[in-house]
Structure 1
Amino acid sequence: MATSCGYEFQLKHFAFADASASDFYVSQWFNSKILFVLYRAFMFLYCLIWSINTTIILVEAYPIYVAYLSNWAEWTLVVHFLLALLVAIYGLFSQSRDSTSTEVGCCPGNQCNNGDVRWFHHLTWVVLTATAGVNFIVTIIYWAFLSGISVASVPANVHQHIMNSVLMILDIFISRIPIRLFHFIYVSLYGLTYVLFTAILHGADVKSAFYTNLLDWESAPGISAGVCVGLIVVGSPIIHLVSFGFYHLRAFIARSGGCSSTSSENSGEDNSGFEMSHPKEDV
């Protein structure tokens, strides 16, 4: 599905409104649940194997492995694909279906069966949004400010700072989970969590210098505070627009192929936007 900006600017979209459980079980491009589970399994195993490999390499080079955002982002990628895989498997074997849960997405003019969206769908949605945001941030910051530093492993560096974003772009395009504009708050919360963690390490005299000239609580506390506030308050929402843009590009391509619907939202009120629709999914 995809929407206009007018549709996105509603308070309900800070949460998890207007989605169907089926959005988590099939792709935007094919309706086979089995094929989608295989895709999710491949992505999870690929990320898990790479993350284990890079962890073994980097722990030797950087003893305080958990201090670096790149490592956080890499393992968050693993968590995302694990959750997405488990939810896709649930969708494959779940027998609890009603007539509206087979509707693809929450299309305007159709009743959106929000009742079949459970807490684990919400969790998967949040993790997807945060994972995309933090990996885009890691890629941009690394190549803009840190690419000149020596690395312990070129393959690990490529995986953490190039392939991480490639995988997330690919997943946004293949999946059918919507990206909500107001969900930038989950990217900001992720950033806030990391900043607080670095502050704790600094306060405990474990580590103070994380990224030269960017995040060093001992030598440059003012610059570090400014960078952190700017990234959380301004940077994260802007980076989230990248995910939002890829989502709309996906919808535009799908809509150009003929799978679109324009009408009113399930509330009965007019919606100037649109929501993507799809045929009924297959097992």
Structure 2
Amino acid sequence: MATSCKFEFQAQHFGFVGVSPHQFYHIQWTQNRWVHLVFRILMFSYQLVWFILDFTTDLGNDTPGDKPRQLLLSNWTEWLILLYFTIALIVSIIGVAKRHNDEHNNSDTLSWYHKVAWAFFNMAVVSAFIITIFYWAVIGRNRSAALNTRPRTIHLHVTNSILALIEIFMAAFPTRLLHFIYTICYGVVYGIFVLIMHWTGVDSLIYPVLDWQNSPGTAAGWLILAIIIMPVFVHAIAFGFYHLRACIARATVLKGASDETAPRANSGVEMGNVNPAFMETPQHKPN
């Protein structure tokens, strides 16, 4: 393991500490900020194009029985992912613009926009995985193959997790184990929205398992599972992918990092701070 449980389970790690701003300006595999910017443009452009197509072409047409987009967590998460990619692109642009000033500035203090990007990263990535799991385990198995293979369905419930996985393996900043709290906050907001839709009589059956009119107890159980329990377990999976990314990086692009330029902690190595997979070494000088 690259970090210790004692280190991860510190109250301060509910927040945004121990990470350099530089880690938001490059990908894990190169510290060239222009490469990072191109990556950010590609991710943002893909999501933006799909967002536009979803509302303007036949790809996004609803079939009879489909709920309005604004009611569905799948669409909420699509918009959340687009918002994250927008924020990440803006941060990358800032990194390119500041690259010369940063050569003389060794501050490790994160600005507010780094923290916002980090929080939205956790919400977007974990929510994407949850949407995929929830749809194919609960909703998709009761729908026809024709509906499940629609481009829109694939984008919302398959490609979303592919993008999340790419993001985990490309980002240079760490995944904190305690950051599951941000996905729970996102889920609670949606849960409150669902209850408001029921109490106001707009829709009491947004999903088949959320039948507030006839089975409120079952609906409450499913809602708690989706917005509180699943974020904890799915975030732990994302945390595991993060460790895998760091292990690959240490064995490849950062294999030559020396002990002097990449010091280790006594027992557990804190990824994003002193781990060689995240240190800026002479061989990997920021661009």
TM-score by length of 2: 0.85
Aligned match of 2:156: 160
Q: Answer yes or no: is 1:142 the counterpart of 2:135.
A: yes
1:17–1:114 contact (8 Å) kept in structure 2: no
Q: Answer yes or no: is 1:273 the counterpart of 2:269.
A: yes
Distance 1:218 1:262, change over 3 A: farther
Q: Aligned partners of 2:39, 2:103: CA distance in 1, in Å?
A: 26
Q: Aligned partners of 1:41, 1:177: CA distance in 2, in Å?
A: 18
**Could you say what secondary structure the match of 1:211 adopts?**
coil
Q: Aligned partners of 2:186, 2:129: CA distance in 1, in Å?
A: 13
1:179–1:247 contact (8 Å) kept in structure 2: yes
Aligned match of 1:123: 116
Moved more, 252-261 or 153-162: 252-261
How big is the shift at 1:206? 1.1
Distance 1:171 1:259, change over 3 A: farther
Q: Aligned match of 2:227 in 207, 229, 232?
A: 232
Distance 1:53 1:153, change over 3 A: farther
Distance 1:126 1:59, change over 3 A: farther
Distance 1:47 1:60, change over 3 A: same
Aligned match of 2:249: 254
Q: Aligned match of 2:165 in 166, 169, 175?
A: 169
Q: Give runs of aligned pairs for residues 147-226 of structure 1, distance below 5 A.
A: 147=140, 148-150=142-144, 151=147, 154-212=150-208, 214-226=209-221
Q: Aligned match of 1:86 in 70, 77, 90?
A: 90
Q: Aligned match of 2:71 in 67, 73, 82?
A: 67
C-alpha distance after superposition, 1:154-174 (max 9, x if no partner): 111111111100011001101
AA aligned opposite 1:71: N
Q: Aligned partners of 2:256, 2:268: CA distance in 1, in Å?
A: 18
**Could you say what secondary structure the match of 1:137 adopts?**
helix
Q: Aligned partners of 1:278, 1:259: CA distance in 2, in Å?
A: 12
How big is the shift at 1:281? 4.1
Return the structure number with greater relative CO, CA threshold 8 A, min gap 6.
1
How big is the shift at 1:63? 5.8
Q: Aligned partners of 2:108, 2:86: CA distance in 1, in Å?
A: 23
2:187–2:228 contact (8 Å) kept in structure 1: no
How big is the shift at 1:215? 1.5
Q: Answer yes or no: is 1:132 the counterpart of 2:153.
A: no
Distance 1:63 1:241, change over 3 A: closer
Distance 1:130 1:250, change over 3 A: same
Identity %: 34
Q: Aligned partners of 1:22, 1:204: CA distance in 2, in Å?
A: 47
How big is the shift at 1:152? 8.5
2:169–2:245 contact (8 Å) kept in structure 1: yes
Distance 1:173 1:190, change over 3 A: same
| Structure 1 spans left out of the alignment, 5+ residues | 102-112, 265-269
Q: How many residues align?
A: 264
| Structure 2 spans left out of the alignment, 5+ residues | none
Aligned-residue RMSD, C-alpha: 2.0
AA aligned opposite 1:37: L
Aligned match of 1:105: none
1:58–1:152 contact (8 Å) kept in structure 2: no
How big is the shift at 1:46? 0.4
1:28–1:175 contact (8 Å) kept in structure 2: yes
C-alpha distance after superposition, 1:197-237 (max 9, x if no partner): 1111111111111111x212212211111111233332110
AA aligned opposite 1:114: D
Q: Aligned partners of 1:132, 1:185: CA distance in 2, in Å?
A: 13
Distance 1:156 1:60, change over 3 A: closer
Moved more, 162-171 or 142-151: 142-151
AA aligned opposite 2:73: L
